[in-house]
Every structure is written in C-alpha cells, then in structure tokens.
Amino acid sequence: MTAAPRQLVLDLAHRQALGAEDFLVSSSNAAAIELIDRWPDWPHPACVVVGPKGSGKSHLANVWRLKSSAGIAAAAELSDAAVAALRDGSALVVEDLDRGIGDEQALFHLLNRARESRLSVLLTSREAPGDLEVRIPDLRSRLRALPIAALEAPDEALLKAVLVKLFCDRQLNVEPAVIEYLSLRMERSMAAASRVVAAIDRLALAKHRKVTRPLAAEALAFLNEAGE
C-alpha cells in the first residue's frame, strides 16, 4: 500500500472570512484584517487598504462589503449622483484609487459625507493616497489624512499556507517538498498562487500523474512561457 503524502503543517492564525474563502493571518496582512474586524469601531469613518497587485485587497474589501452591507464602486466611475443617493449611515467600497479618480469632486463630497452623515467608506489602492496625483487641494488633504492599513505581498509562511489550502480545495494531497519548491520559484502573490495550483491540477489530470516536483516544474515552465 502506498503511504499517504505527509501534510505540511503551518503555524498561522486562521479566521473565517464572511461569504468568502478562509483568511490565513500572517504579518503581511494582519493590520488590514484587524481594520476590517474593528469595523464599525474605526478611528475615522473612511479608511484605506493599500497593497500591491495580488495582495488580496479586493478579497478583503468583499469581506467588509458583506459585513457592512456596503455598496461598491470603482474610483474611476464614482459620480456625484451616486454619492447623493447614499443613505445616511450606509457604507461604500471605493476600489482602485490608483487606477484613476473619475470625478474628484464626487470623491471629495463622499469623504465629507462620511464625516457628516455617519457613512462608512473603505477605499483600496496600490499606492498610498498621498502619492496619487490629485488636482483638488482639499481632496488631496482629505486623502492624506485617512488611516491606512497596509497589505504586503504574502510572506513565505502565508504563501505556503495559501498553496496548501488551494491544493486541499481541489482535493490534492501534496508533499511538503512540492510546496517548498513552488514557494521559492513563483511570483509571491495570491493571484499567482491560484494560477499555479490551477495549472498543476490541469496538468496532473491531463497526464494522469500525481503532483510531484517534476510536475510542478512543468506547470511553472508552461506558465512562464505563456507570460503568466
């Protein structure tokens, strides 16, 4: 009888993400997760989650959206009409400040309403608000004054834990050596982890092979050739 693969055990805190995948907590995301968990006891009615691509900003914003019954809008599409339609005491996610603010006046009105009408606003951005190009001086000042929670790129412990979870979600038992191999050679992001595990699963099914280091190497080579 073939022995079952050894399981990789990772000493990370764990919390249930509302309506989404489980969150694994490490030093790279602890501050942002604490911010979400503290709501509605926030230090300011509007807060910003800042982090690089693939760090989990949208995932975390969705957890808060479900927790707070918030609406959602891209910063590039925010309008005065949308801000005016918000009820006092409601909540809104404004995503991707770094991709452009479509109507700076609308965002300025939103932040003013957050202070005056008990709105809760969660903004996401790849760059700190103070580093963005903003034409309206008062809006620039408002953005720079907002509390920021940073999401860093996943550290090694978190990346390994995410890989283990993604393989388990697909009912794939993977040796710790495979996780170690992948964590040292792949892009360090949540999005990359999902792509890598999906590619390995497809390759294992197509070749009727178990997930091994050579199979993982083939999948990584294929993704690199494809520019992924």
Pair (125, 199) in one structural domain: no
137 contacts: CB under 8 Å, gap ≥ 6: none
Query: Over 80: is that where the pLDDT of 7 sits?
Result: no
Whether residue 177 lies inside any domain: the answer is yes
Pair (53, 160) in one structural domain: no
Nearest-5° Cα angle at 164, 158 to 165: 90
Query: Over 60: is that where the pLDDT of 182 sits?
Result: yes
Pair (81, 177) in one structural domain: no
Pair (105, 180) in one structural domain: no
Pair (74, 129) in one structural domain: yes
Pair (130, 213) in one structural domain: no
Whether residue 130 lies inside any domain: the answer is yes
The Cα–Cα gap between 11 and 7 comes to 13
Whether residue 24 lies inside any domain: the answer is no
Nearest to 197 by CA among 211, 207, 185, 209: 211
Pair (35, 143) in one structural domain: yes
Check: CB of residue 120 under 8 Å from CB of residue 68: yes
Residue 215 belongs to domain spanning: 154-225
pLDDT digit string (tens) for 137-166?
Answer: 999 999 999 999 999 888 888 899 889 989
Given 150, 172, 190, the domain boundary residue is: 150
Pair (109, 158) in one structural domain: no
Whether residue 82 lies inside any domain: the answer is yes
Whether residue 141 lies inside any domain: the answer is yes
Query: Over 50: is that where the pLDDT of 11 sits?
Result: no
Query: Over 50: is that where the pLDDT of 124 sits?
Result: yes
State the CATH number of the domain containing residue 170: 1.10.8.60
Pair (132, 75) in one structural domain: yes
Whether residue 6 lies inside any domain: the answer is no
State the CATH number of the domain containing residue 47: 3.40.50.300
Pair (118, 168) in one structural domain: no
pLDDT digit string (tens) for 49-98?
Answer: 999 887 888 888 999 999 999 999 999 999 999 999 999 999 999 999 99
Given 131, 150, 169, the domain boundary residue is: 150
How many CA within 13 A on the CB side of residue 26? Answer: 19
**Adjacent-strand bridge partners of 48:** 123, 148
pLDDT digit string (tens) for 183-203?
Answer: 999 998 888 998 999 999 999
Pair (115, 206) in one structural domain: no
Q: How many domains does the chain have?
A: 2
**Band (225; pLDDT cuts 50, 70, 90):** confident
Nearest to 71 by CA among 139, 20, 121, 17: 121
Pair (131, 33) in one structural domain: yes
Given 135, 150, 165, the domain boundary residue is: 150
